[in-house]
Every structure is written in structure tokens, then in C-alpha cells.
């Protein structure tokens, strides 16, 4: 079983990650973006890890120009995944989250609007580019899916293993008995008490991240870090 993340070669040097959707064949011809990325990293004739975003991975030797000779292939086991519900927020905060969220095993990302949302937006082509930059940095072989924009009433968790950052309700002190499946992050103004009550009704449990209101990009990674402290099983892709 392969471990997620960066791979070390025999000299314990970090092997660079690149993203390319098509990694079939004994020789892979790199896209312009991949070549540019390797030039920025000053990579010459050495090992490269190629991620396709669906768990398939190839390890190969870069010829220093535009091709990689494949020496190994495998599909990485997938950690249990988490769905993230993200509010519509200002663009700079949204971009920061997109660029860094792939450090965690995220499967789907949903956008929603709430009382204190500060922006109206839709998924943009730049969002996927930021996620791709993130998996090249983190080594996560699975690219999260940008799912539909949904209404607040449609945020539901049937398995009772969903959590949200709460200001109005105290969290249960015991750790979850099962894996965390979903998290909901509020906008910078937080949720209203009515919205928090609706999330609880819809199957989510409150987590207290701070006695104060956090910036959205701080709250989401604080909550994901809390999730990461719980043991999660490995599942099939």
C-alpha cells in the first residue's frame, strides 16, 4: 500500500509532484504547464511523481526537456473523504482556501449562501487551477470535485457525522464514534443562531473552535485540523 503525499528517492531527496490528466504509456509527454513547473523547480534529469487527480500515479525519469520515461505505476489507497460546505466569501479568502485545502482528503466542495455571506459568486476555471496547484504541493493524488452551488436548507448530513463551527451551542465532549464525513464553515460573520439550529436539525453537530469570530480561512483549517486528530479508515477509491 502506498502512502499519500511526497515520495523520497534513495538519496532521501523529495521527488517533485506534477499534475497531468493523461499519464498512460511508457513515455509521458508533458504539458506546457508541467514543463514550466519543473523549470521553476529547477528539475533536470531526475525522478518525478505524476498525479492524474483520480488516484493513479506514475513515477518516471524526466529527460530534462519535455518527456518522462515511466518506471513505476500504482493507484494510491484513498483515505476516507470529507465533503466541505463553503460559504460565498471575498475572492482573496476563497483563493487561499482553494490553494491549500488539498492538504486534507476532501472529496466534494459545495458553495452556499447564508445571512452573512459577503459575495455572490460561481465556480470559475481558476478554482480548479488552484486545486491543482494544491495537489502538486501536497502530493494528494485525488483532486476534489467542485460540486453544485446549493441552498442553505439543502445542507444535510444523514449519517450524523457532520460538524460545523458554532458560536451558540456547546460541542459534545466525546470524540465521534465514526469518521467525520462532512463539515460546514460559516462566513466571516458566522452563522445566525437560526442557521445553527437548522444545521443541528439537519444532522450536524457543533464544534467550538474559538470563543471569538474567526476569519473563514482560519476557521476551515482549524476545523479540518480537528477532524485530522480522529482516526479515519482507508477506503477504496
Sign of the Cα torsion 70, 21, 91, 108 reads negative
Q: What is the band of 173 on the pLDDT scale with cuts at 50, 70, 90?
A: low
What are 21's three cell numbers?
A: 490528466
**Whole-angstrom distance, CA of residue 104 vs CA of residue 165:** 17
Pair 62, 108 in one domain? no
Are 98 and 127 within 8 A, CB to CB? Answer: yes
Q: What is the band of 6 on the pLDDT scale with cuts at 50, 70, 90?
A: low
Check which CATH number belongs to the domain holding 30 and give it: 2.40.240.20
What backbone torsions phi and psi does residue 11 show, to the nearest 5 degrees? -95, 10
7 within domain boundaries: no
* Top-confidence range, 2-16, 143-157, 174-188: 143-157
Percent of the chain with pLDDT over 90: 37
- The number of distinct structural domains making up the chain is 2
Q: What is the band of 9 on the pLDDT scale with cuts at 50, 70, 90?
A: low
Helix, strand, or coil (residue 225): helix
Mean pLDDT of 50-58: 93
**Whole-angstrom distance, CA of residue 85 vs CA of residue 184:** 5
Strand runs labelled E in 55-213: 56-62, 67-75, 78-79, 82-87, 106-112, 145-150, 162-165, 182-184, 204-207
Q: Would you say residue 134 has pLDDT above 70?
A: yes
Last residue of a domain, one of 75, 93, 121: 75
8 within domain boundaries: no
pLDDT of residue 1: 44
**Whole-angstrom distance, CA of residue 50 vs CA of residue 58:** 5
pLDDT of residue 52: 93
Predicted confidence (pLDDT) per residue in 203-227, tens digit:
999 988 888 878 899 999 988 887 7
Containing structural domain, residue 125: 78-235
Check which CATH number belongs to the domain holding 100 and give it: 3.40.1280.10
Last residue of a domain, one of 55, 75, 95: 75
Q: Would you say residue 87 has pLDDT above 80?
A: yes
Pair 175, 84 in one domain? yes
Which one has a higher pLDDT value, 144 or 168? 144
The DSSP 8-state label assigned to residue 100 in this structure reads H
Which residue's C-alpha cell is 462566513? 187
144 within domain boundaries: yes
What are 123's three cell numbers?
A: 465556480
Rounded to the nearest integer, the mean pLDDT of the chain is 84
Q: Would you say residue 232 has pLDDT above 90?
A: no
Residue 190: name the closest of 114, 122, 121, 119 by CA: 114
Q: What separation in angstroms does the CA of 226 have from each of 69, 87, 89, 118, 157?
A: 41, 19, 22, 26, 18
Amino acid at each position: 500500500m502506498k502512502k499519500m503525499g511526497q515520495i523520497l528517492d534513495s538519496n532521501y531527496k523529495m521527488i517533485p509532484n506534477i499534475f497531468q490528466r493523461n499519464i498512460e504509456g511508457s513515455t509521458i509527454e508533458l504539458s506546457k504547464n508541467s514543463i514550466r513547473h519543473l523549470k521553476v523547480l529547477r528539475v533536470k534529469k531526475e525522478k518525478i511523481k505524476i498525479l492524474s487527480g483520480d488516484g493513479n500515479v506514475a513515477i518516471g525519469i524526466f529527460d530534462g526537456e519535455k518527456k518522462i520515461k515511466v518506471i513505476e505505476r500504482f493507484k494510491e489507497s484513498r483515505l476516507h473523504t470529507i465533503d466541505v460546505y463553503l460559504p460565498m466569501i471575498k475572492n482573496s479568502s476563497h483563493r487561499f482556501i482553494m490553494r491549500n485545502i488539498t492538504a486534507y482528503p476532501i472529496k466534494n466542495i459545495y458553495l452556499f449562501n447564508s445571512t452573512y455571506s459577503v459575495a455572490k459568486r460561481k465556480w470559475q476555471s481558476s478554482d480548479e487551477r488552484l486545486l491543482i496547484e494544491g495537489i502538486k504541493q501536497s502530493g494528494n493524488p485525488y483532486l476534489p470535485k467542485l460540486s453544485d452551488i446549493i441552498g442553505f436548507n439543502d445542507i444535510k448530513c444523514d449519517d450524523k457525522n457532520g460538524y460545523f463551527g458554532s458560536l451558540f451551542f456547546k460541542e459534545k465532549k466525546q470524540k465521534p464514534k465514526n469518521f467525520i464525513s462532512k463539515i460546514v464553515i460559516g462566513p466571516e460573520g458566522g452563522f445566525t443562531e437560526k442557521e445553527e439550529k437548522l444545521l443541528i436539525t439537519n444532522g450536524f453537530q457543533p464544534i467550538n473552535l474559538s470563543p471569538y469570530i474567526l476569519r473563514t480561512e482560519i476557521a476551515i483549517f482549524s476545523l479540518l485540523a480537528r477532524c485530522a486528530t480522529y482516526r479515519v479508515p482507508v477506503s477504496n477509491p
